Amino acid sequence: ELQYPERLNCVADLLDKMCATGHADSIAIRSQTENWTYSHLLATVNRISHVLLEDMRLQPGNRVLLRGANNPMMAASVLAVIKAGCIAVPTMPLLRAKELGVIANKAEIAAALCSENLREEMELAVQANPILTQVLYFNHKGDDGLEALMAGKLTEFAAVDTLAEDVCLISFTSGTTGMPKGTMHFHRDVLAICDCFPRSTLQSAQSDIFIGTPPLAFTFGLGGLLLFPLRVGATAVLLEKLTPESLLKAIDEFKATVCFTAPTFYRQMATLAKNFDLSSLKKTVSAGEALPAATREAWRQATGLVMIDGIGATEMLHIFISAAGDEVRAGATGKPITGYQACIFDEHGEMAGPGVVGRLAVKGPTGCRYLADDRQKKYVHQGWNLTGDAYEMDADGYFWYRARTDDMIISAGYNIAGPEVEEALLKHPAVAECAVIGQADEERGQIVKAFVVLKADAHASASLCKEIQDFVKNSIAPYKYPRAIEFMTSLPRTETGKLQRYKLRTPAASSS
Ligand code: 3UK
């Protein structure tokens, strides 16, 4: 049972307390060019907090948009906003002015801190959205930027005294449907995620070095690459523009012990792993999308590591079902992590027992609070958070992913889970990546359609198409095979590595 005092500022716990308890000289954050100790991070955060309250004249409770790739100043800015009693609204680096405007208006944001190299779209957003009145740029050499204002500030700053249940973070979902939703989280929630998954599932320690791809604007990255390491006095490596190859190189170079990324990254990393020394790696966490069994197996063969799959959601702040080590059951996501409960609701909204595919519901120390109220009722029922995922629980309490509820394909009366067909396709030696959707069909309602990216040495042809179809028919129930296959050079994905299936559905198909 997690217990927190009624008043707390989570950054005081994550930073001031760590400095005061022997971690001041340990390395908190590394990047390609910087090594920041805990005391340097604390001083930097404190100076930014002074700028927010004194120069930008913000009041506790004000919302501050943050825009930057994964780097030390972006991390310090997020922490400083929260320490000053304000609400951090981190945004994805690739967002354009239009999307930044939507977020600023939805979350009623007047002030922003933005990395100099992402200035262009920020300025366009400011021009088009009168609500945005103040922007300061960081990672900026000029005398009008955040660093120039910080120079004159004290390195001490007492965290603004907030309630454990004051909102400190508004996180927007990565928008696989193209409609970002804001979710609110308390100071207490931030500490709760640090005290659940990393402690019980990862068993993180001070000696750990965390690395990975998810942006700090995605709660998967904010937790895994900043909050979790700080909570145990460990080191976070923050790197920009990573590719599967450069991430492998960085693991080797920084001697990383814990890695966070998405399944597609691991799949590509597995093919290149032999060129690097990955002996420092102990825990590799996959989240954001279902982990195909073929990817889990390729990763084990390449590195000897048993992947830790975990399902999380922006609404819940972080991972709530997972398994590690001997607890892993290949194919299943795992069991509710310490502190969380999960169950399946059937189509009538009743709690279902083992063996029934239904809607995954979770409960724990964190929970969904949407900015816009109308969605809230759909997501939260009697304290249970309904994730929008179709799952099945087995008799031992393991949870097996089937599909997003809106990705279930109904073809000639059969319910077909797209990811199961994707799993089967990925086992074919010519297939590098794939995505399966339901395409509208006069006769069958929908048919299974696969978009396939071939490996470099394979060539698209009618005979390969037939071969792949037969291959699938031979490994799963034949009615699930893709009646249509389209070869692609790449698949549409979000910045967080999630497939954008809605972009593959033709208008006719999605309206049916
Ligand atoms: C899907 C998974 C199967 C699932 C997230 C870890 O992904 C995160 O948050 P989002 O709000 O999306 C949530 C949805 O993504 N999903 C995520 N992980 C898995 N499906 N297996 C998985 N392991 O549909 C879920 O409802 O972008 C992940 C930590 C923090 C996060 N915000």
Show the beta-strand stretches assigned E in 290-413: 308-312, 319-322, 335-336, 341-345, 351-352, 357-363, 380-381, 384-393, 399-404, 408-411
Measure the CA–CA gap between 65 and 220, rounded to whole angstroms.
18
What are the two backbone dihedrals, phi and then psi, of residue 148, each rounded to the nearest 5 degrees?
-65, -40
CA distances, 334 to each of 283, 303, 368 (Å): 16, 21, 21
CA dihedral sign, ordered 248, 250, 256, 261: negative
- Residue 465, pLDDT above cutoff 50: yes
Which residue lies with its CA nearest to atom 12 of ligand 1? Answer: 313
Which residue lies with its CA nearest to atom 7 of ligand 1? Answer: 288
Ligand 1 center–CA 312 separation, angstroms:
4
Supply the pLDDT for residue 173. Answer: 85
Query: CB of 171 closer than 6 A to ligand 1?
Result: no
Measure the CA–CA gap between 434 and 172, rounded to whole angstroms.
27
Percent of the chain with pLDDT over 90: 83
**pLDDT tens-digit series, residues 139-154:** 998 899 999 999 999 9
What are the two backbone dihedrals, phi and then psi, of residue 304, each rounded to the nearest 5 degrees?
80, 0
Quote the DSSP letter at residue 143.
Answer: T
Contact between 72 and 40 under an 8 Å Cβ cutoff? The reply is: no
Which residue lies with its CA nearest to atom 14 of ligand 1? Answer: 313
- Residue 1, pLDDT above cutoff 80: no
Query: Which residues 6+ apart lie within 8 Å of 215 measured at CB?
Result: 69, 70, 90, 92, 93, 221, 495, 496
Query: CB of 220 closer than 6 A to ligand 1?
Result: yes
Measure the CA–CA gap between 359 and 417, rounded to whole angstroms.
13
> Ligand 1, from 228, 289, 333: best to mutate by most atoms within 8 Å of Cβ?
289
Measure the CA–CA gap between 402 and 420, rounded to whole angstroms.
7
- Could you give all domains of the chain from N- to C-terminal order, each with its CATH number? 10-186 (3.40.50.12780), 283-404 (2.30.38.10), 412-511 (3.30.300.30)
- Residue 512, pLDDT above cutoff 80: no
- Residue 293, pLDDT above cutoff 60: yes
Measure the CA–CA gap between 449 and 203, rounded to whole angstroms.
41
Measure the CA–CA gap between 300 and 309, rounded to whole angstroms.
13
pTM for this structure?
0.92
Measure the CA–CA gap between 244 and 308, rounded to whole angstroms.
18
Q: Which atom of ligand 1 is nearest to the CA of 286?
A: 23
Q: ipTM score here?
A: 0.99
Supply the pLDDT for residue 347. Answer: 87
Ligand 1 center–CA 311 separation, angstroms:
5
Ligand 1 center–CA 6 separation, angstroms:
30
Query: CB of 391 closer than 6 A to ligand 1?
Result: no
Which residue lies with its CA nearest to atom 28 of ligand 1? Answer: 312
What are the two backbone dihedrals, phi and then psi, of residue 320, each rounded to the nearest 5 degrees?
-130, -15
Query: CB of 404 closer than 6 A to ligand 1?
Result: yes
**pLDDT tens-digit series, residues 159-193:** 999 999 999 999 998 655 557 789 999 999 999 99
Ligand 1 center–CA 77 separation, angstroms:
25
Query: CB of 183 closer than 6 A to ligand 1?
Result: no
Which residue lies with its CA nearest to atom 6 of ligand 1? Answer: 312
For tokens 């492998």, the residue is 248
**pLDDT tens-digit series, residues 186-199:** 999 999 999 999 99
Query: CB of 90 closer than 6 A to ligand 1?
Result: no
- Residue 365, pLDDT above cutoff 60: yes
Measure the CA–CA gap between 30 and 235, rounded to whole angstroms.
7
Quote the DSSP letter at residue 479.
Answer: G
Which residue lies with its CA nearest to atom 23 of ligand 1? Answer: 311
Mapped onto helix, strand or coil, the DSSP state of residue 139 is coil
